[in-house]
């Protein structure tokens, strides 16, 4: 029986924290059992339900793997001047790592790129076994339960990290997204206190850094002018 792998991510857009890429692999005969668990896109589930389902998914899976991509590695990809590296290509490299390690016959994944054909071609070049069938689609986490399962594991891992960050800082980061008011407050108060948890390639973090640089320059000019009056 063919081994089926589903891949998805969680935490692609936040300014705070890591990006999680998860892969869940099961034998094809277990697909029906996976459906019966009631897995669906992790965004459609309350977090307590995700935690419960994650436990069941790990029991049912033949293998699974979660890769944590920290902010520094994300920044390096986003700021890279190489045409072969950006956030989409970074995800492709991590998905390929999961595929190469687990060795499935068929892979379903939620494509992060608007250009599915180009992303699939790039991914295939990174996969060692050229016989692996790749099915990349947008909203695959809604269409395919195996991708939904990966989505749930990735989201649970992301929420674990959020909880860890909040425990470390003693503050809520909200959703971690720049548009979230709680996160905006956290970013304003902590952007230079905990440099390791922020994505410095994100415009919202850079705005705070630029504001500090401008303030420092203004203060220097004031001191200089005063000293040379």
User: What is the predicted pLDDT for the residue at 180?
Assistant: 93
Residues 155 and 177 occupy one common structural domain: no
Confidence of residue 207 (pLDDT cuts 50, 70, 90): confident
The pLDDT of 19-43, averaged and rounded, is: 93
Strands 133-137 and 19-27: unpaired
- Answer whether residue 131 shows pLDDT above 90: yes
pLDDT confidence tier of residue 212, bands split at 50, 70 and 90: low
Structure confidence at residue 211 as a pLDDT band (50, 70, 90): low
120 with 33, same domain?
yes
Which among 19, 2, 134 has a CA at the least distance from the CA of 10? 19
Q: Which domain-ending residue is among 152, 167, 182? A: 167
User: CATH code at 135?
Assistant: 3.30.420.10
* Residue 222 pLDDT exceeds 50: no
174 and 159 assigned to the same domain: no
Count of the separate structural domains present in the chain: 2
- Which residues span the domain enclosing 23? 3-167
**Confidence band for 217, pLDDT divided at 50, 70 and 90:** very low
217 versus 73: the higher-pLDDT residue is: 73
Rounded Cα gap, residues 57 and 34, in angstroms: 8
pLDDT at 209: 75
pLDDT surpasses 50 at 223: no
Cα 39 from Cα 48, distance rounded (Å)? 13
Q: Chain-centre distance of CA 116, in angstroms?
A: 18
């Amino acid at each position: 029986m063919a081994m089926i792998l589903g891949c998805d991510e969680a935490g692609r857009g936040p300014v705070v924290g890591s990006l999680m890429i998860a892969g869940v692999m099961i034998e094809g005969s277990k697909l029906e059992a996976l459906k019966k668990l009631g897995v669906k896109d992790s965004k459609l589930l309350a977090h307590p339900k995700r935690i419960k389902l994650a436990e069941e998914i790990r029991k049912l899976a033949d293998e699974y793997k979660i890769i944590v991509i920290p902010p520094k590695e994300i920044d390096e990809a986003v700021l890279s001047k190489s045409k072969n590296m950006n956030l989409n290509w970074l995800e492709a490299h991590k998905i390929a790592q999961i595929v190469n390690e687990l060795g499935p016959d068929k892979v379903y994944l939620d494509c992060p790129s608007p250009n599915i054909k180009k992303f699939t071609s790039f991914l295939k070049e990174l996969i060692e076994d050229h016989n692996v069938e790749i099915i990349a689609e947008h909203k695959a986490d809604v269409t395919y339960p195996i991708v939904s399962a990966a989505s749930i594991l990735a989201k649970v891992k992301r929420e674990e990290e959020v909880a860890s960050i909040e425990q470390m800082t003693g503050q809520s980061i909200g959703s971690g997204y720049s548009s979230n008011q709680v996160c905006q407050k956290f970013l304003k108060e902590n952007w230079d206190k905990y440099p390791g948890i922020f994505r410095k390639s994100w415009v919202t973090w850079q705005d705070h850094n630029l504001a500090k640089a401008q303030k420092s320059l203004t203060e220097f000019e004031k001191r200089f002018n005063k000293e040379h009056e």
